[in-house]
Structure 1
Amino acid sequence: MTEVSAPPAAPDAAARAALGRLRTEVGKAVIGQDAVVTGLVIALLCRGHVLLEGVPGVAKTLLVRTLAASLDLDMKRLQFTPDLMPGDVTGSLIFDARTAAFEFREGPVFTNLLLADEINRTPPKTQASLLEVMEERQVSVEGEPRRLPEPFVTIATQNPVEYEGTYPLPEAQLDRFLLKINVPLPSRDEELGVLRAHHGGFDPRDLKAAGVTPVAGAADLAAGRAAAQRVAVADPVLTYVVDLCRATRVSPSLELGASPRGATALLAAAKAWAWLTGRDYVTPDDVKALARPTLRHRVRLRPEAELEGVTTDAVLDAVLATVPTPR
């Protein structure tokens, strides 16, 4: 009797399964932070950039390195300092004495995942060179454009408790990031797990020894990106996204609300999350789940609200509570 093999999985389902294994693979080196990993995958599916904010020592750099190793993507880390020049980011023309000609030497941006560590420690001129690359996905030198690899995502970090010697990103530049994800301190059990791992010999500089291997690649991301684009969105849900963003513009606690770019970012992130969870349609709960990371860096508190201890997340929670949810 001839054995009948099971039909191959559809490309969408295979890509979803591959990306779903990321949490387990990242968990070999990073304990906890599942929500942060999910946010980074959503950004990759949307071809968007991420701003990670957390106190030192919560494994922001290790998280990005492990994600890149799990995705079989090239990753480069760039430490932002006050003396960093734009050419150190994008690359520059170098004179070659052997050929008597200028040759372009690629900068760290020519990669798949760029970790921009402490982005707020470099002056605005250097910040602008990176943010231009993020928007255009190319480097232009002497009028000649040079495309970046695909995919290309910038994951920038900043410290929320230390502001001396920093250059905060203005709102117009923050708007270029798809998500701003707060990296929390681990729970008691998670921190205990971290200590047990280090006591057992875990070396954060040797991911291979930790057993981290690629479980997905650029092809899976491309298939997932195409599938997320096809996710259906009912008109009431579209209206809900618009109403949420418009509500931030009239909030008495905010002097700057979310722009239309914020609305498109929220829609794209909600579609990617819906696809990751196995649905081909967006629900209002998907929008609510992504509202804070998508909008928290696109709004600005009034000074009097800051003095009263109000936070942007608290304002967004109030907006989510007051704008009617479609049923």
Structure 2
Amino acid sequence: MQVHPQLQQLRDELRACFPEWQDVIDGAIAALLCGEHVLLVGPPGTAKSALVRTIASVFGTVLFERLLTRTSTPEELLGPMSLQALDEGRFTHVTTGMLPEALFAFIDDVFAASSPVLNYLLSLMDERVFTNDEALVPVPLVSLFGATSKLPTDAAQEHLLDRFLLRFDVELLHQPGNLRAVLTAPEPTISTVLGMEALRAMQAAVANVKLTEETLDAIVVLRDALKDEGLVASDRRWKKSLRLVQAAAFLEEEAETSPEDLTILGSVLWRYPHERPRMSRLVNKLINPAVYEASEILEDGREAAAKANALKPQHRRAYLAQATRALLLLRAQVEMLVRLSESASRRTRSIIDSAISELNELHATLARDVHSTQGLKLLK
């Protein structure tokens, strides 16, 4: 499968600008490739809008951005009413520069939408139309990115939530080295330029990626396994996920899908944030055991380092003991992942290498801290 080389360059540049967001970046690009929408769930200050703004610039278009409140009106999205039309008894929005003319949109605090705003958003996102003076007008929207600090509990908002095929629970940076890099780096800039013509061509190529019987069989197995765990998604959601799986294969330069491409569904099938880690573990355990093992090892390493850091303020002796155990564990875990990486596929190796990088940084940070503040010899 011939993938536009600049698309791979874009992935690399975005990963450099937004560390620890590999899944979000690949998911966002996959969403563009199949015309789906993305929800980013997380606290303010996690660079959600910066990522979307950067992606939009790559395709040569201005991002439509709005922050919704409970008092927001449809005019804030659709444009003001035409005074001339009002004089004629018609209700026509002037849409210049507004959401109905946008290719990409970022709506912050999206679940603050009032009922009138909600109704317009639903038709724009799902049917790509909006009602202007009682006429259905098609819109060119490719993808809408929503942001929120928490998911809705109001049943009326469930329909809007369902329109976001991909959902990411974004967090503050884990690795100190990445935080230092972000603090000292300039605002994200990307040299890649693609344009909408290239995006349309890639969307057509994604539609031609073959969905294999092996992939479809794996989806059935995965759905049944998740159902047994009480994690249920609608048939509609599974159906819409097929194009996303094709996009995942396309990003890996494959002409046909494989069960490994179903890993992206870990960001599709969850409803509540606390479900996402369990969902990802179950998907990886069934579809990609090597990624599952790497994730479990990484989580154990994070926990060991966190336990040591929690003891530091008040319990010097206990801290030294726990830090020593954590340093030894982290080093052993890196060796385990290196061995696991040797027999892994290309894309799995990339995920494992990312886990190795984080464990190495956890080790280096803990070792420096112990050495500088407690006088303990660094463990090599």
TM over 0.5: yes
Q: In 1, are the aligned partners of 2:82 and 2:94 still within 8 Å (CA)?
A: yes
1:311 aligns with 2:275: yes
Amino acid at match of 2:255: D
Structure 1 residues 241-320: aligned runs within 5 Å: 241-251=219-229, 253-254=230-231, 257-287=232-262, 289-297=263-271, 311-315=275-279, 317-318=281-282
Equivalent in the alignment of 2:101:
110
Deviates more, 1:69-78 or 1:95-104: 95-104
Aligned residue pairs total: 285
- Deviation per residue, 1:114-149 (Å, 9 max, x gap): 101111223344223212210111111233122212
- Deviation per residue, 1:263-317 (Å, 9 max, x gap): 1233211110111111101111111x112111113xx69xxxxxxxx63431453
Please list every run of 5 or more consecutive structure 1 residues that lacks an aligned counterpart in the other structure.
1-11, 205-209, 302-309
Over the residues paired in the alignment, what is the CA RMSD in angstroms? 3.0
TM-score, normalization by structure 2: 0.67
Of 82, 104, 108, 1:94 maps to 82
Equivalent in the alignment of 2:338:
none
Equivalent in the alignment of 1:48:
36
Equivalent in the alignment of 1:20:
8
Q: In 2, are the aligned partners of 1:245 and 1:262 still within 8 Å (CA)?
A: no
| Aligned mates of 1:320, 1:213 — CA distance in 2 | 34
More strand by share: 1
Deviates more, 1:105-114 or 1:53-62: 105-114
CA, structure 1 residues 312+63, in 2 after alignment: closer, same or farther (shift >3 Å)? closer
- Deviation per residue, 1:126-179 (Å, 9 max, x gap): 223212210111111233122212x52100001139x8xx86874333221120
More helix by share: 2
| Aligned mates of 1:181, 1:70 — CA distance in 2 | 22
- Deviation per residue, 1:227-257 (Å, 9 max, x gap): 1111112213112213322443443x44xx1
Equivalent in the alignment of 1:175:
162
Q: In 1, are the aligned partners of 2:28 and 2:38 still within 8 Å (CA)?
A: yes
Please list every run of 5 or more consecutive structure 2 residues that lacks an aligned counterpart in the other structure.
290-380
Tell me how far 1:89 sits from its aligned partner: 2.0
Deviates more, 1:91-100 or 1:276-285: 91-100
Tell me how far 1:98 sits from its aligned partner: 11
Amino acid at match of 1:279: E
| Aligned mates of 1:82, 1:99 — CA distance in 2 | 29
Q: In 1, are the aligned partners of 2:75 and 2:93 still within 8 Å (CA)?
A: no
TM-score, normalization by structure 1: 0.76
Of 132, 142, 150, 1:152 maps to 142
CA, structure 1 residues 215+147, in 2 after alignment: closer, same or farther (shift >3 Å)? same
Tell me how far 1:74 sits from its aligned partner: 2.6
CA, structure 1 residues 61+189, in 2 after alignment: closer, same or farther (shift >3 Å)? same
CA, structure 1 residues 112+138, in 2 after alignment: closer, same or farther (shift >3 Å)? same
Deviates more, 1:273-282 or 1:237-246: 237-246
Equivalent in the alignment of 2:53:
65
Equivalent in the alignment of 1:304:
none
| Aligned mates of 1:147, 1:110 — CA distance in 2 | 9
Looking at CA atoms only, which structure, 1 or 2, has the larger radius of gyration?
Answer: 2
CA, structure 1 residues 292+97, in 2 after alignment: closer, same or farther (shift >3 Å)? closer
Specify which structure has the bigger relative contact order, considering alpha-carbon pairs within 8 angstroms and separated by 6 or more residues.
1
